Amino acid sequence: MIQPIYLDYNGTTPIDPEVIAVMRPFLETEFGNPSSSHWYGIRPKRAVEAARRQVAALLNCRPEEVFFTSGGTESNNHAIKGMARSLKEKGRHIITSTVEHPAVLEVCRYLEREGFATTLVDVDDAGLLSVDAIAAATRPDTILISVMHANNEVGTIQPIADIAALARQQGVCIHTDAAQSVGKIATDVQAMNVDLLSVAGHKLYAPKGIGALYVRNGLLPEKFCHGAGQERDWRAGTENVLEIVGLGKACEMADRSMQESFRHLKTMRDRLHEGLIARLGHVRLNGHPENRLPNTLSLSFKGLEANRILEEIGLEVAASAGAACHSDTVMLSHVLEAMRVPVEWAKGTVRFSTGRMTTTGQIDHAVEVVTRAVKRLRGSA
């Protein structure tokens, strides 16, 4: 069976062959515990620290500011819970946005049980936050701002450096969920001036189940995981050497090919968009037209249902939906709702996301497949 064309790289990425190659020894022969003082622990220990340097190089920070986690969700939990609890004597107010990933929104909701308050700041119709709106939401008891670097559904990139400048003026800690942006656009923590930044390995051609959290030196988030003292006694548990090595290699590859990758992702994305517009015409783009991830294309087809589109194309193209439709009800994504996308458009939203392995031939075939499907559905409607 011929596999469908994969256009869901924002959902997850395949593991790059170079990443697999550097991981292999730690799957086959280098099985030692990096905390062991004997011979078998030496190479795993060195490999973990080498990977830490590779992640730090991509983020432009010190290696000791990088902590390994199980992924973006855990990194967000560490960052938000850890800083909120360590700063609770100063205040209990957190600011975030209406378009955050559940790995941020649900953490904030959970903290409300502990007496914290959360303000959700609205975005404009392109999914973009206003720094003035963030400023208006700040209070004397605000201790943390958490805003994603780039949206996973529509790709809109937030003005993190400007928000961080505001946070500095107010003496507020700032965290950004960069799960979707690391490896696609620059994620220089010095340029962005953030205090904490979350990384998800499986969004940049590393394995699932590995991530990292940048924590600026001098910050003391509450210890998240107690145990034998790994990760400088902040996140206990035997290190996942195999996947840490993979994440390090993926970050090294992203660092060396950022500009080339950006051009390729954008070229493939725009070719898909232009092809569909030329053949279908009546299509709505969601997200900022320029200020968005180079690989992300969220399109709405008026009057259609996303799940029906995906069913029609599923044997030939893999993408994701922006709405779940069941009988007479439509469950829209909270991102599309926050952007005030009209229901007749929003329910027919499909997200396509290109990747390093995407080819021109795949894009051209995807254009034909989606075009046929949408025309069939429009005809039946």
Q: Give me the residues paired with residue 214 across strands.
A: 66, 197
- The yes-or-no verdict on residue 327 having pLDDT over 50 is no
Identify the three-state secondary structure at position 6: strand
Q: In angstroms, rounded to a whole number, what is the distance separating the alpha carbons of residues 244 and 68?
A: 7
Summarize pLDDT for 69-114 with one digit per residue, the tens: 999 999 999 999 999 999 999 999 999 999 999 999 999 999 999 9
- The yes-or-no verdict on residue 283 having pLDDT over 90 is yes
- The yes-or-no verdict on residue 381 having pLDDT over 70 is no
Was domain 17-256 assigned CATH 3.40.640.10? yes
Among 66, 45, 64, which residue's Cα sits nearest to residue 55?
Answer: 66
Which sequence spans correspond to the domains of the chain? 17-256, 258-380
Strand order in the sheet with 284-286: 284-286, 296-300, 349-353, 320-321
Catalytic residues: 325
Among 287, 279, 365, 345, which residue's Cα sits nearest to residue 10?
Answer: 287
Q: Check residue 329 and give its pLDDT.
A: 56
Q: In angstroms, rounded to a whole number, what is the distance separating the alpha carbons of residues 18 and 346?
A: 39
Q: Check residue 151 and give its pLDDT.
A: 98
- The yes-or-no verdict on residue 340 having pLDDT over 60 is yes
Where residue 324 falls among pLDDT bands split at 50, 70, 90?
low
Where residue 232 falls among pLDDT bands split at 50, 70, 90?
confident
Q: Check residue 153 and give its pLDDT.
A: 97
Q: Check residue 326 and give its pLDDT.
A: 46
- The yes-or-no verdict on residue 29 having pLDDT over 80 is yes
- The yes-or-no verdict on residue 304 having pLDDT over 90 is yes
Among 258, 209, 235, which residue's Cα sits nearest to residue 59?
Answer: 258
- Model confidence, pTM: 0.96
Identify the three-state secondary structure at position 98: coil
Residue carrying the six token digits 């969700």: 73
Report the range of poorest mean pLDDT among 301-305, 371-375, 376-380.
376-380
Asked if residue 86 lies in contact with residue 234, where contact means CB atoms within 8 angstroms, the answer is no
Query: Per CATH, the architecture of 258-380 is what?
Result: Alpha-Beta Complex (3.90)
Q: In angstroms, rounded to a whole number, what is the distance separating the alpha carbons of residues 68 and 53?
A: 12
C-alpha separations of 62 from 35, 76, 176, 200 in Å: 22, 20, 18, 19
Q: Check residue 331 and give its pLDDT.
A: 80
Residues above pLDDT 70, as percent of the chain? 97
Asked if residue 308 lies in contact with residue 145, where contact means CB atoms within 8 angstroms, the answer is no
Q: What is the mean pLDDT of residues 130-156?
A: 98
Q: What is the mean pLDDT of residues 14-31?
A: 97
Residue 128 per-residue DSSP state:
P
Report the range of poorest mean pLDDT among 1-5, 10-14, 51-55.
1-5
